[in-house]
């Protein structure tokens, strides 16, 4: 399915995936308001624009009161959940800061806002503290399930095995656990993508966030900018979403910003290919320029309210509804008990 290329066959694939989505998770889209807490990162992944080795990035960190104000806004907008994302950092001050944010968000929403974390690899103790503070979902992309390819895309001290172990720890602690890969990485074959799906299956993953790889000029993979084909990247990204829906059925699948970066209607196309989650960026526009993982990231100067209104309109126009005020937990998580 991943190697289909004839236009009518690709359309048939999306259509079938949509039927599977309807049957297993329905056509309600859940919003997760995304707050990009900080672009400070101790890691140095070769593909990423905010890698520690990129001196051209101006680093920022949003303060506690501002994060809580953004979360309160999300709550007023009746978003069911928020996602706290940042570059990877592991130290006691950071752990404590995040713990306070989780507690603060739970308090301001009387426990009603669901909290997803996307804060990289941490020790079991840190994950446990955050879980006990009230976070209940965690996203940690494996990036690629091919260990050889993983090595080629990361410095020697970034470990594939440690990352898999983190996913298992998160599940053991009771988190709804999400992972995902970048689609269209240099050196990645269609068989690798098929193996990624088997990895999601074997690890019994609840949620998926995947998007096309988009080269960033100020990274070691910047040489790929010249030959990059956005049309192709969108199509491969959508096919991966569709095949994941068909194969994994009841997981939550996000239609990611990277799709929208390549095509203005990319996220809606993702919904039609089988995704059921959207993560609108609600980070204050003052900070957005700093969080450029890849080039052409959309919505740099679009405020959270206008982007919500246009998103709402386009979702209704494809015949779907929005699950305001609901957590929209992964059916797969419920089914695995
Ligand atoms: N293109 C697409 N996605 C990227 N990410 C990082 N760099 C890029 C890029 N150049 C993704 C990674 C990471 C997530 C937060 O952003 O998959 O897990
Ligand atoms: Fe840091 Fe994540 Fe970027 Fe890697 S992909 S450099 S861990 S922000």
325 alpha carbon to ligand 2 midpoint, in Å?
31
Pocket test residue of 48, 53, 142 for ligand 2, highest count of atoms within 8 A of CB: 48
For residue 295, the model assigns a pLDDT of 83
How confident is the model at residue 337, as a pLDDT? 64
Q: Do residues 81 and 113 lie in contact, with contact meaning Cβ atoms separated by under 8 Å?
A: yes
Residue 290's pLDDT is: 83
Predicted confidence band at 33 (pLDDT cuts at 50, 70, 90)? very high
Rounded CA-CA distance 284/291 in Å is: 11
| 39, 41, 218: residue to mutate for ligand 2 pocket, most atoms within 8 A of CB | 41
| Host H or E run for residue 212 | strand 207-212
In a domain, 56, yes or no: yes
Q: Is the pLDDT of residue 307 over 90?
A: no
Q: 247-257 pLDDT, tens per residue?
A: 999 999 999 98
Per-residue pLDDT averaged across 1-30, rounded? Answer: 97
Asked if the structure places residue 248 within a domain, the reply is yes
Q: Is it the case that residue 301 has pLDDT exceeding 80? A: no
Residue 111 CA to ligand 1 center (angstroms) comes to 31
Q: Which domain holds residue 122?
A: 7-336
Structural domain contains residue 2: no
- Residue 1: inside a domain, yes or no? no
Instruction: Tell me what pLDDT residue 257 has.
Output: 87
Q: Residue 205: inside a domain, yes or no? A: yes
- Minimum mean pLDDT among 158-162, 177-181, 312-316: which range? 312-316
> Ligand 1 site: residues with CB under 6 angstroms?
47-48, 141, 143, 182, 211, 213-214, 216, 258, 293-294
Closest-CA residue to 145 (of 183, 114, 112, 108): 183
Which protein residue has the closest C-alpha to ligand 2 atom 3? Answer: 48
Query: Does a structural domain hold residue 101?
Result: yes
Atom 6 of ligand 2: nearest residue by CA position? 51
How many separate domains does the chain show?
A: 1
The 10s digit of each residue's pLDDT in 98-151 is 999 999 999 999 999 999 999 999 999 999 999 999 999 999 999 999 999 999
> What is the CATH classification number for the domain harbouring 172?
3.20.20.70
Q: What is the mean pLDDT of residues 176-186?
A: 98
Output the average pLDDT for the chain: 95
Rounded Cα distance between 97 and 99, Å, is 5
Residue 181 — φ and ψ, nearest 5°?
Answer: -135, 165
Confidence of residue 194 (pLDDT cuts 50, 70, 90): very high
pLDDT at 242: 98
């Amino acid at each position: 399915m991943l190697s289909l290329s004839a236009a009518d066959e690709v359309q048939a694939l999306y259509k079938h995936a949509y039927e599977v989505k309807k049957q297993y998770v329905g056509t309600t889209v859940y919003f997760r308001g995304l707050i990009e807490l900080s672009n400070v990162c101790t890691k140095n992944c070769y593909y990423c624009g905010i890698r520690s080795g990129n001196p051209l990035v101006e680093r920022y960190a949003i303060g506690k009161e501002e994060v809580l104000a953004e979360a309160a806004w999300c709550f007023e907008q009746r978003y069911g959940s928020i996602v706290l994302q940042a570059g990877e950092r592991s130290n006691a001050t950071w752990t404590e800061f995040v713990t306070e944010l989780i507690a603060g968000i739970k308090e301001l929403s009387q426990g009603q806002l669901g909290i997803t974390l996307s804060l990289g690899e941490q020790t079991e103790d840190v994950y446990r503290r955050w879980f006990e503070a009230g976070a209940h979902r965690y996203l940690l992309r494996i990036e690629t399930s091919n260990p050889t390819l993983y090595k080629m895309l990361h410095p020697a001290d970034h470990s594939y095995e440690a990352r898999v172990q983190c996913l298992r720890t998160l599940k053991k602690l009771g988190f709804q656990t999400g992972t995902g890969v970048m689609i269209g990485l240099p050196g990645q074959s269609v068989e690798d993508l098929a193996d990624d799906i088997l990895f999601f299956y074997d690890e019994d993953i609840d949620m998926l966030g995947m998007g096309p790889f988009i080269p960033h000029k100020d990274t070691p993979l910047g040489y790929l900018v010249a030959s990059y084909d956005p049309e192709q990247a969108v199509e491969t990204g959508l096919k991966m979403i569709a095949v994941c829906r068909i194969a994994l059925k009841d997981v939550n699948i996000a239609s990611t910003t990277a799709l929208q970066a390549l095509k203005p209607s990319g996220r809606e196309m993702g919904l039609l290919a089988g995704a059921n989650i959207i993560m609108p960026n609600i980070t204050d526009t003052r900070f957005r320029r700093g969080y450029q993982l890849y080039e052409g990231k959309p919505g740099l100067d679009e405020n959270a309210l206008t982007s919500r209104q246009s998103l709402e309109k386009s979702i209704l126009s494809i015949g779907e509804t929005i699950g305001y005020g609901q957590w929209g937990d992964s059916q797969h998580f419920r089914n695995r008990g």
